[in-house]
Structure formats: structure tokens, C-alpha cells
Amino acid sequence: MKLKSFFLLFGCSLFMAIASSQELNTLTTEFLNTLDPELKSRTIFAMDSEERLNFHFVPIKRKGPTFHDFNEKQKNAAMALLRASLSNEGFRKTKEIMALEDVLLEIEGGKFKMPDGSPGRDALNYHFCVFNDPATQQFWGWRFEGHHISFNFVASSGKIVASTPSFLGSNPAIVREGAQKGKEVLKLETQLGFAMVNSLSKEQLDKALFSEKAPREIFTTNKQVVTNLDPPGISYADLNKNQKKALEKLLMVYLDNYESEFSQSLLDKINTAGMNQLSFAWAGSLVPGKGHYYRLQNPVILIEYDNTQNNANHVHTAVRDLTNDFGRDLLKEHYKESHKH
């Protein structure tokens, strides 16, 4: 089924899910209840399983069923869960990144294959995994993942308490031909990054620019544990008023992908750590068309953007919560309190 028609089919069901304001545990349970025993066994994993930390953003063999395995009711329930876990903008980007698989399929003529011979570009080859059963466990999680998309959620009592690591990529960054010509899924991430770096004075740029050449990939890749990167770049405190607003705007492009309550909680953590601790670093070209990279970070957050591959027309972005990736710190505290009791 073509991706466009697929999304048209479940559009009405998604509206109902949003309008009814159902809690996430209800949506997760409803999704699981649509699955037969075989599909459910492929979907549910323990919260402490190694699989929960096994995230990636390249075309690889993954666990968990895909849209190819679902009937229409199951597709609608799965996507209603994802829709409720993201903002409107985050959901839009997710759909459009999936649709880029059809663009790559056309550009490459279907030549890219998975090791098992299946198509390497497939707009329906995105996987759902659920960790713990929300009907019986206080904490549970789920993952939505495939080429250029990885969202790792942890929830409790119908509320998202962790949404990182998260990854969104776009290849092509700008579609040059075909039915989707001109499409630029991660446009603001690129435009606001260039606006930020080109607003810097020579003295400021000396602090922010750490390499004339951009790295081929984000530094954190799919590492399970990450820390702040060196050099940090120029700090928020060293920017003028307009530059501070520009950096805040760039930061919010990433935070606004998440469900609103979680987005606000992550922003609160960043503010508590101190906006003056936030820094901006750049590598590579200061103009589009050549490889470039940037990052934002403070003690609790690390955001990376890289556009170097395919003649600088292939974007990778990642957001890491340095205090709570995979909900680690929150779960650690929960298990410690449970052990006391």
C-alpha cells in the first residue's frame, strides 16, 4: 500500500484518539489488545531487556512487528499511540520521513537491499516494540523505529516521563526531483542553524567554530550512554539579546517535536541547569551546499545536527537527555524506593 493512501485511511481514527484525550496507558492497552497472540509475543519485551536499549537509525534487521504485519485496525491503534506521544510537528516530520523512503526507492531504482534480500527502502518497514504491559506495570515504554526515525518512550500513569534518545533524519534533505520535489522535512533545523552561526561576530565565531571540516556523522551515533562533547563552543552568556533569542528558537525546534507536557518538562530541566550553561558549537561550511554540523548542549541536554553525506543533502539529528535517556534515572530511583518497601 502506498504510504499516502495509508495515512488517509487512518486519519479519521487518529482524530478520534486525540479528541477523546485518552491516557497513554489506555492507548497502549488498546493497541496490544488488537494483536493476536503471535504478534503480541513479537511486540512485548521486559522493561529490563537488552532490547530496550538496542536503538539505531539505519536500515538494519529489527525486532518488533511493522505495518506489513498489521491489519487496518492494528495500524490505526498503533499510529494513534504514536500520534498521542508526539506533537503535531513531531508527527508531521515522522510521516514525511517515512514517505522519503519512496523517494529513495525511486532515486536508487530499488537497488539497495537488506541482507535477506528484502527492499532496503520501505515506507512501511517501521517497527513497534512495547516494554512491559501497561495494564499490569507502573512503568512501561515503547519504541517506534526504522530508517531515520527512533523514538524511545517511557511512561507512567498515562504520562510520558522520557522520550529520548530520539533521532530524526532526512535523505534527501531537499528532494531535487519527482513528485515530492522541493520537500525539505527538517527545514527549520537547517535554516535556523545557519542563521545562528552567521549572526556571530568574528570573535564569537572563533569560540563556536571548532573545525573547518564537518564530521561525517553525529558523534553520539547510537551509543547507549553519552556525555557532553568537547569543545562546548560559545555559551549563551556570550551572546547578545537577538542571538540569545535565535538560540532559544533553535532549541525549541527540537523540543517541540515532543508531546507538550514532556516538552515543557524537558525545557524546565534545561532552565534549571541554567540557560547560561547552554552552548552552541559549529563545524564545517558556513553556507549551505557543503558539509556542516552543529550542536547545542548544557549539563542536561545534547542536541546534534549533521549534514555531510550525499553532497551535504542528508541530515541526521539527535536529542539526548543526559540525565534520563531511556528513563534510566527515573527508573533507578523507582526501583530503589521499591526495594526499600
With a CB cutoff of 8 Å and minimum separation 6, the contacts of 182 are: 174, 175
Whether the predicted pLDDT of 14 surpasses 50 = no
Whether the predicted pLDDT of 16 surpasses 50 = no
Is the torsion defined by CA of 315, 193, 218, 291 positive or negative? positive
The one-letter code for the residue type at 183 is K
Query: Residue 31's pLDDT band (boundaries 50, 70, 90)?
Result: very high
Burial class (CB in 10 A: 0-12, 13-18, 19+), 87: middle
Cell numbers placing 236? 549563551
**C-alpha 134 chain-centroid distance:** 23
Tell which wins on pLDDT, 331 or 89: 89
**Boundaries of every domain in the chain:** 3-164, 187-323
H or E element that contains 241: helix 241-255
- Average pLDDT over every residue of 51-75: 97
**34 neighbors 77 (Cβ within 8 angstroms):** yes
Query: What's the confidence (pLDDT) of residue 313?
Result: 98
- Average pLDDT over every residue of 154-161: 91
Percent of the chain with pLDDT over 90: 85
255-274 per-position pLDDT tens digit: 999 999 999 999 999 999 99
pTM of full prediction above 0.75: yes
Cell numbers placing 152? 524511545
287-318 per-position pLDDT tens digit: 999 999 999 999 999 999 999 999 999 999 99
Whether the predicted pLDDT of 5 surpasses 70 = no
Average pLDDT, the chain: 92
Cell numbers placing 38? 503471535
With a CB cutoff of 8 Å and minimum separation 6, the contacts of 101 are: 3, 121, 122, 123, 125, 147
Query: What's the confidence (pLDDT) of residue 331?
Result: 82
Tell me how far apart the alpha carbons of residues 75 and 312 are, in angstroms, rounded to a whole number. Answer: 35
Phi, psi of 120 (to 5 degrees): -85, -15
